[in-house]
């Protein structure tokens, strides 16, 4: 799979920590919009791009220490910057206060509320308070943020100062934005799909699971489907996945002939979080195929070229490829 980078910062409109190059561990192509499919295959390489990030100076840390955050937890805080414009040269994360809820553990899915403030003038850029919680999957975010959260407790608040650009593009004017993130819940994510087995239709690849649930494939000798195939292999008992949610999955992908090209099962962590499913930074076959499936399910997706990469080559995936995925839907929030 290609390893690509995202040039966007913590976009004020999106208000999601996993959109930021400084905070995420996985990313997609900047030129994705030119593709007839969505931006990438399943994860656009769910492995992180290993580029050295700048290190915060003592002056950066001291400046962030002067940011004042006031207000009760659960309610939108007030953020007062020590000066405007407020800038730092590198990402700085500060624990504002610990919570009184359950301890936050590695690998959990967190529900978070977030406030974003412009370092340029101190004005609020956006807020998910009071009740627009977003999902944050530990293991898929910046390791420094994860270290700050793991071991704390539900209710904890952190302050993040992030050097970005005013318009969220790689070439925009430099600007530091400040975020307050509050953890409102922490949930253990299952490690495999569970539910009632479903009989697949004739002509599809045969999927076999090992003792841990990792799938392998026996290719079909039938003609390739020309339209998207969505075949549940295990029917989970959870709620239906809704457009706009963050979906936590494990997946494996093959070409129609059975050639493997990617599997999250081979990585640590093996789970992968898809933001804004339905319009997420994944191929069209995923955006269309996962919405409406139930949490806990395992789904076989056969993705024709027009809902995958089209006539473009992508790493080891040839142009005009029909793709086969087995996706375990572990959580949606």
Q: What is the pLDDT of residues 169-223, one digit of tens each?
A: 778 889 999 999 999 999 999 999 999 999 989 999 999 999 999 999 999 999 9
pTM of the model: 0.71
Q: Where do the H-state alpha helices sit in the chain?
A: 58-65, 143-149, 284-290
Residue-range domains of the chain with CATH: 53-187 (3.10.50.40), 196-332 (3.10.50.40)
Q: What is the pLDDT of residue 139?
A: 83
Q: What is the gyration radius of the CA atoms in the chain, in angstroms?
A: 21
Q: What is the mean pLDDT of residues 36-45?
A: 37
Distance CA(253)–CA(269), nearest Å, equals: 17
Q: How confident is the model at residue 40 (pLDDT cuts 50, 70, 90)?
A: very low
Is 28 a residue whose pLDDT tops 60? no
| Average pLDDT over all residues of the chain | 85
Pick 307 or 43 by higher pLDDT: 307
Residues forming beta bridges with residue 136, ordered by sequence position:
110
Peptide bond into 269 cis (omega under 30): yes
Question: In the predicted model, is pLDDT for residue 310 greater than 50?
Answer: yes
Per-residue pLDDT reduced to its tens digit, 79-137: 999 999 999 999 999 999 999 999 999 989 999 999 999 999 999 999 999 888 888 88
């Amino acid at each position: 799979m290609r390893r690509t980078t995202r040039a966007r910062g913590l976009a004020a409109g999106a208000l999601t920590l996993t959109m930021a190059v400084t905070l995420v561990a996985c990313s997609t192509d900047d030129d994705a919009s030119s593709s007839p499919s969505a931006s990438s295959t399943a994860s656009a390489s769910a492995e992180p791009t290993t580029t050295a990030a700048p290190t915060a100076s003592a002056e950066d840390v001291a400046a962030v220490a002067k940011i004042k955050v006031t207000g009760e937890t659960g309610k939108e805080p007030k953020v007062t910057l020590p000066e405007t414009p407020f800038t730092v040269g590198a990402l700085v994360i500060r624990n504002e206060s610990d919570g009184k809820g359950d301890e936050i553990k590695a690998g959990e899915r967190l529900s978070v509320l977030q406030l974003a403030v412009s370092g340029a003038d101190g004005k609020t850029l956006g807020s998910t308070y009071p009740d627009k919680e977003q999902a944050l999957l530990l293991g898929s975010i910046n390791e420094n943020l994860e270290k700050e959260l793991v071991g704390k407790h539900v209710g904890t608040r952190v302050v993040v100062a992030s050097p970005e650009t005013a318009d969220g593009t790689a070439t925009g004017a430099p600007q530091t934005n400040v975020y307050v993130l509050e953890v409102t819940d922490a949930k253990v994510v299952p490690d495999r799909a569970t539910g009632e087995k479903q009989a697949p239709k004739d002509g599809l690849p045969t999927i076999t699971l090992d003792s841990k649930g990792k799938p392998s494939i026996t290719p079909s000798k039938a003609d390739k489907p020309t339209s998207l195939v969505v075949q549940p292999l295990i029917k989970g008992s959870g709620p239906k996945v809704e457009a706009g949610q963050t979906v936590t999955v494990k997946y494996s992908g093959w070409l129609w002939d059975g050639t493997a090209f990617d599997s999250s099962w081979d990585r640590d962590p093996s789970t992968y979080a898809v933001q804004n499913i339905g319009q997420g930074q994944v191929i069209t076959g995923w955006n269309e195929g996962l919405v409406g499936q139930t949490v806990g399910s395992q789904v076989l997706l056969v993705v024709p070229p027009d809902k995958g990469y089209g006539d473009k080559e992508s790493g080891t995936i040839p142009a005009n490829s029909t793709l086969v995925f087995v996706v375990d839907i572990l959580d949606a929030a």
